[in-house]
Chain A
């Protein structure tokens, strides 16, 4: 029973926050949002080299530092607060998790150290045209040849798929869903960046035409590992959403203190004060959802994790979207401009809501697990 943070964890938060305040301030976020690559390799390497953030929760045997999910959640919360641009979520929450969960020790030893050290940018290519995150949504095919596996088909909405060095691709063989590793330079692989509503998180369309790939784990056995990856990534995304939500409340409160109408600060009017209070209540409830899920992950109880992950995705997605919209309302006209950062958070909230399957989908997962 340890639902509070240790001093070391408080310290980690402080260090990450001050790093991101420097390297992911509003000007930098806007610069990267407008940049087609959307990523600053120099910052990426400092995140790995100076802070070890990419390998924080990767076990030591694979080149990481072996911290827990609560620690990693702290980093994601801060990343969300700063709207960090770049492939951190794709590499750490999706690809590293998929590798950790697929049953392939050799692949883990080969591939994880590169992710942990920041050398390799990676992602998970799972969704296709219909954007589904369930097993039936996977139709890209893999077939065996005398010199290994080949993939044919299209993945899309792949987070940071345009710049990943390594793509983990979910594909279908006659035996079922399997996971493959594809090198960015593999023959027959084309990647097209997609213009995104939320410019702070890039996506790409990935086409495989008889592209050579390495099978990870046993053929046809990947779905359970992918479902667990989805659960873990949902929890980390929930932490990121909490951070983003908290940043919007800070902005709303700061503005409500200085903006005057009718001769007094708008924050003294209950219409605004109560909205801010409700925002805080939503954020604290979202924190309970996200932290509870992180603690469940570290506790290692699969049933509890699955429940809390679906709960966290549902609740934190909706909470972030709601408070991001409230923040625009508190700001009035200025909140509706391109110049003000409020819309950056609104769009991040919107894209995060559907990044790993919608809240409605996760609500159904939760219902199924509760036997409802």
Chain B
């Protein structure tokens, strides 16, 4: 199934395909398929690749020209994501800023913020981290305790953030803070943009279960940022943060789906090679793995079709994350089972192959961006209208 949105978009697609074919060579080509939303592998190569993309003016194709984008539409954005994943190009190091912060600023940032922050994102001059979670505020994000107080024309921020993806690379953080000390839960929160290059910010890598220093904890002690670096309004940070999370749950799925399809094909190939297809139980699970990736694809296409037709996406846009994350874990387990004892041997310095890495990292997919349990709460309460979970 190919995406086809007519001649104008086809030209764009062909130009992109051609560019990718000419630039995805050498070291970049060697790192095809490397990285992921929570995978810090080959960071430097990927960063260089992002700069290559920036030079080709391929970042932010849907962003307005005045901020360095191409000023194209949603269709081109989708085609870009799709073709990019199809080419299996390295996972972009700047995805956090491009896919999460950028759209948030475009929607809610002030004109000055857009002018100041968007062009450096597209030029890969500034890397960003998302500072929402805290040790005591994970699923229950509304209980954040990191405090920010006004001091003249600055904010003074103290507290601790955790699980900040690619945090050690971040030049800036967008952090959810409590600006009203007497406030409860989602009231009195404010979203601030904070530079990391200052004495009050300490970032320590945390090693994840795949052995990578992908995420980090962030200690803020009287860190400072300018008064006008509030996104949205003071006290309205919850709304701003929720908008980002909505984007987060949607954007990772399209490229992921193509990766999952590749993994399913590899799985079938491996099973054939191992003679596992004669085992009816394994055959059943292999066909089911194929079915689940095909369903992810069709679900995505339904959502894209609705978006491009100007319709509000249906319930499938929300259930897709729960489906994709749980089914991908199943696929990973099956692949490891098929690989057998050979799948248990890693490279030097705990070097993982694609299968091992994907299997291990899939365990995060049911946690980040809202865990499966939280997704089920959202589906139950927001889509089905069931009564809310009791909250103290």
| Residues of A participating in the B interface, judged by any CB pair closer than 8 Å | 1-4, 249, 253, 256-257, 264-265, 267-268, 270, 272-274, 276-278, 280-281, 284-285, 287-289, 291-292, 304, 307-308, 311, 314-315, 360, 363, 366-367, 370, 372
Contacts and interface: CB of A to CB of B under 8 A. Distances in A.
Interface in B264-321: 268, 271-272, 277, 283-284, 286-288, 290-291, 294-295, 298-299, 301-302, 304-306, 309, 311, 314-316, 319-320
Given A1-B5, A268-B390, A273-B377, A363 B299 contact: no
B286 A372 contact: yes
15 contacts: A3-B301, A4-B302, A4-B305, A4-B311, A268-B386, A270-B373, A274-B373, A276-B386, A277-B319, A277-B322, A277-B380, A281-B322, A289-B294, A366-B290, A370-B290
Contacts of A307: 294
B379 A277 contact: yes
A1 B295 contact: no
B368 interface: no
A256 B386 contact: yes
Interface in B1-28: 1-5
A370 B377 CA distance: 37
B319 A274 contact: no
Contacts of A4: 302, 305-306, 309, 311
Given A3-B301, A277-B375, A281-B322, A270 B389 contact: yes
Contact of A276 (B286, B375, B380): B380
B316 A267 contact: no
B319 A284 contact: yes
Contacts of B386: 253, 256-257, 265, 267-268, 272-273, 276
Contact of B323 (A274, A285, A292, A304): A285
Contacts of B272: 372
A357 to B, nearest CB: 15
A264 B390 contact: yes
A281 B389 contact: no
A280 B379 contact: yes
B200 to A, nearest CB: 40
A362 B383 CA distance: 32
A122 to B, nearest CB: 32
Given A267-B386, A273-B386, A280-B319, A366 B291 contact: yes
B284 A363 contact: yes
A121 to B, nearest CB: 34
A368 B381 CA distance: 42
B118 to A, nearest CB: 30
A366 B264 CA distance: 15
Counting chain B CB atoms within 10 Å of each CB, the highest count among A257, A292, A315, A363 belongs to A292
Given A4-B306, A284-B316, A292-B298, A265 B380 contact: no
A276 B386 CA distance: 9
B392 interface: no
Nearest to A267: B386
A332 B277 CA distance: 41
Contacts of B323: 281, 284-285
Interface in B358-392: 373, 375-377, 379-381, 383-390
B315 A284 contact: yes
A278 B376 contact: yes
B210 to A, nearest CB: 27
Interface of B: 1-5, 268, 271-272, 277, 283-284, 286-288, 290-291, 294-295, 298-299, 301-302, 304-306, 309, 311, 314-316, 319-320, 322-323, 373, 375-377, 379-381, 383-390
Contacts of A267: 380, 386-387
A280 B384 contact: yes
Given A284-B315, A370-B287, A268 B376 contact: no
A273 B387 CA distance: 9
B323 to A, nearest CB: 5
A272 B311 CA distance: 31
Contacts of A360: 284
A2 B305 contact: yes
Nearest to A273: B380
A277 B380 CA distance: 5
A372 B319 contact: no
A3 B291 contact: no
Nearest to A307: B294
A306 to B, nearest CB: 13
Contacts of A1: 2-5, 301, 305
Contacts of A370: 268, 287, 290
B384 A276 contact: yes
Nearest to A311: B291
B1 to A, nearest CB: 8
Counting chain B CB atoms within 10 Å of each CB, the highest count among A2, A281, A314 belongs to A281
B388 A268 contact: yes
Given A270-B389, A277-B375, A277-B384, A285 B295 contact: yes
Contacts of B390: 264, 268
A256 B3 CA distance: 40
Given A268-B388, A315-B291, 17 more contacts: A1-B2, A3-B304, A265-B386, A270-B377, A273-B377, A276-B384, A277-B376, A280-B319, A285-B299, A288-B298, A291-B298, A292-B295, A311-B295, A363-B288, A366-B291, A370-B287, A372-B290
Contacts of A311: 291, 294-295
